Amino acid sequence: MAQVQELKAEARTGTGKGPAYQARQKGLIPGVVYGGKTDPENVNVDGRTLERHVEAGHFLTTLFLLDVAGKKTRVIPRQVQLDPVTDRVVHIDFMRLAEGATVRLDIPVHFKGQGESPGLKKGGVLNIVRHSMELICPADGIPNEIIVDISKLDINESVHISALDMPKGVRPTIARDFTIASIVAPTSVLEEQRAAAAAASAPAAEAAPAEGAAPAAGAAPAAGAKAAAPAAKAAPAKK
């Protein structure tokens, strides 16, 4: 489950591009805290500290205790804006999470059991349909990842969401039993199967006579050809 991290911030009085630019010049990242029954609050967060959390991974699924002048609020990052040139964080949005709240998040999917999968041992290929899943999670039980076991998966078999044991209180946002991954035959095998199926369904071609060969007996004369003249009676020899 996601660990709660402490993060210090300071209140930001000004709004707009000017105060935000001034904050970045001081090594601070402007942000806003919203949600719950309290009005949105503008804050500044230390840039280096924030970048370390972003680089550590799972940032958008990590809970923070945001400390603003001694007042601590449980929040979760909802949007991180990056500079298009430097890829550095330039703005961040936090959402407040009260006790008993739930949140909709994209949780990454990871796989185990590749070495034991009979389908992969036969040369099959793991076809990942979903690298992440959108889940509704309780604020106190946000998973860092969803592990999918494929150790018993054979070729042409798949694993669906209904086969997973989800953490307590966690449920997918999609109601249907969707596919997460499957094992498919290698491309060479699929091409051979398609070629064999195409050959089986094609009509048998009639054998054409070889060039210059005599027509079969009883064959009809070619179109436009003159019929053979009847044999002439032998004329009597001259005396």
Residue 115 has pLDDT above 80, yes or no: yes
The pLDDT score that the predictor gives to residue 30 is 94
In the predicted model, what is the mean pLDDT of residues 118-131?
A: 94
What string of DSSP letters covers 142-163?
--S-EEEE-TT--TTEEEEGGG
The structural domain count of the chain equals: 2
Same structural domain, 143 and 164: yes
Q: CATH number for the domain including 185?
A: 2.170.120.20
Residue 180 has pLDDT above 80, yes or no: yes
| Torsion sign (Cα): 50, 56, 59, 64 | negative
User: Given 45, 73, 98, which residue is the final one in a domain?
Assistant: 98
Domain membership of residue 26 (yes or no) is yes
Q: CATH number for the domain including 73?
A: 2.40.240.10
What b/e sequence results for 10-30 when a residue is b if at least 16 CB atoms lie within 10 Å of its CB, and e otherwise? eebeeeeeeebeebbeeebbb
Same structural domain, 64 and 21: yes
- Span 50-90, pLDDT tens digits: 999 988 888 888 999 999 988 999 999 999 999 899 888 99
- Domain region containing 44: 4-98
Please provide the size of the chain in residues. Answer: 239
In the predicted model, what is the mean pLDDT of residues 217-235?
A: 46
What's phi and psi for 50, nearest 5 deg?
-65, -40
Q: 160: alpha, beta or left, given left = phi > 0 and alpha = psi -120 to 50?
A: beta
In the predicted model, what is the mean pLDDT of residues 159-182?
A: 95
Tell me the whole-structure pTM to 2 decimals. Answer: 0.68
Same structural domain, 44 and 110: no
The pLDDT score that the predictor gives to residue 2 is 60
pLDDT: is 196 or 132 the higher one?
Answer: 132
Rounded distance between C-alpha atoms, residue 220 and residue 17, angstroms: 94
Sheet with 102-112, side-by-side order of all strands: 146-149, 102-112, 132-138, 171-172
